[in-house]
Structure 1
Amino acid sequence: MTVDPGFPPLTLLYAPGDRPEVVGKALVSGADVVLIDLEDAIAPDRKEYARAATAERLSERPPVPVHVRVNALDSPWAEADLTALTALPGLSGLRLPKVTSASEVVDVAERAASAKGGAIPLYALLETALGVERAFTIASAHPAVRGIALGEADLRADLGVREDAGLDWSRSRVVVAARAAALPPPAQSIHPDTRDLEGLAASCAHGRTLGFLGRAAIHPRQLPVIERAYAPTAEEITRAEETLKAAAREPGAQALPDGRFIDTAVVREAQRTLSLARRRR
């Protein structure tokens, strides 16, 4: 199956860079994108091995897009990560953790373009209060920026938030910033309990109401839950089809027999629903 390029991926699966066998399984898990992690999942004494194993993996094009989350740009390992990875043919994108300024993104974009001979898609992860405050500036920093997202574990610690709902303002801020910068809707941050599938489904449903689209996972068992949560339901598809048929018959604002009101915004949302429903073909 292929993903409709008009939408961002719904499922993104993290795999630690120092465990090549886990990366190999992730590549055939059904995830739309595999995220090889060189940062939080890797102990300091394993950083070099993780980098080398990832570089070897990406020396050829993998069967699905692979992004790499490099180490924080102010860390001792970031320079070596960027040097080793940016020119590799199997790299589809770089995930930049703990971004707090537009200049950080611009520096990586220019360096990556020089090494690759063209732009590499960049995804900025906002994990501090300062990063969230500068969300739009970061999102619009450079044409190579293709998305922004939250790193909720670090953000929760930075803000001292105890309840999950305490992050909703930051979540909405990032959704709005992405839209204002003409970027795709952000994917949700991970759900850390890999066995709590009911909690994952409920969290995805909440994220969908906030404007997120898709989610990162840390275990393959989470992928079907995320897919179902973000795919349009049969009822939503039917209502969207009815909306577009009515709009085709009678352009302009109108009320359907069941009382639903249709205008340009409603038609646009119906088109989006059907495009998302056709994302896998």
Structure 2
Amino acid sequence: MLFQINHLSAEFSSRKKKIPILNDVSLSVDEGEFVALVGESGSGKTMTSLSAMHLLPEQIKITGGEIFFGGRKISKLSDDDFRKISGKEISMIFQEPMTSLNPLIKIGRQIEESGLVHGLSKEEARLRSEELARLTGLKDTERIFQSFPHELSGGMKQRVMIASALMNNPRLLIADEPTTALDVLTQEEIISILKNLRAEKKISMLLITHDFSVVRKLCSRVYIMYKGKIVESASTEEIFKNPKHEYTRALIEAIPSLQKRDKKLPVFDAFIRDSQLNSEGR
């Protein structure tokens, strides 16, 4: 097993109270496997991934559990020791590129940065960044590398984030909503890039998302998270075919489809009935 989270719990602490954020969370990702952690906003998905990356906000503390990578316990590593593997063996693609990319540094330098930190020479980092630009579909690299983040489209910025995360050939990629802010065509392009990474680089990925359509295209297994807990886990096929938890069923039911296009929502039908009754009573 490449990556494991065992019985992880965390809480938000303030002077007045403590609020549980994660409750006994366990999940795993094997070598070459793409696994999804699915739930709506506020369910605890991102906090789980930030726990693994030693990036929790100061007010949130891990209160129990362990995290392993390659058989090594990483949850107890000092920040200095964890930096030796962060960006090298484990990399993360964050949800919003504009909050992760430095607005004052040109794109080429930002892609090269992780390689330079982990021991690549300037020439090696430059060649590697050009290779990754091609891999992630960044065309006209000379112009893009000389650009600042605000000069690129959302899809280009997401490609830059993927290229940066891949700089040191990591074994595990944690991707937090990598397609959420993109249009449908760009989403498909990013999904294609991630599929190619699995085929060519044998990389593993933990996908953090609320989008079941992306899960279906990319992942072999799924964990469903609700209010800081894992409430169901199974193969992707089994989750779609036979969801057991009512929350999982509700998430799947919410997936847009052409078959549902002409169906009215129950709440809308109730609204019409109430309006008719009010009109008749006047």
- TM > 0.5: no
Greater C-alpha radius of gyration: 2
Higher normalized contact order (CA 8 Å, seq sep 6+, divided by chain length) = 2
- Shorter-chain TM-score range: 0.3 to 0.5
Normalised to the residue count of structure 1, the TM-score between the two structures is 0.34
Normalised to the residue count of structure 2, the TM-score between the two structures is 0.34
Which structure features the higher share of helix residues?
A: 1
Which structure features the higher share of strand residues?
A: 2
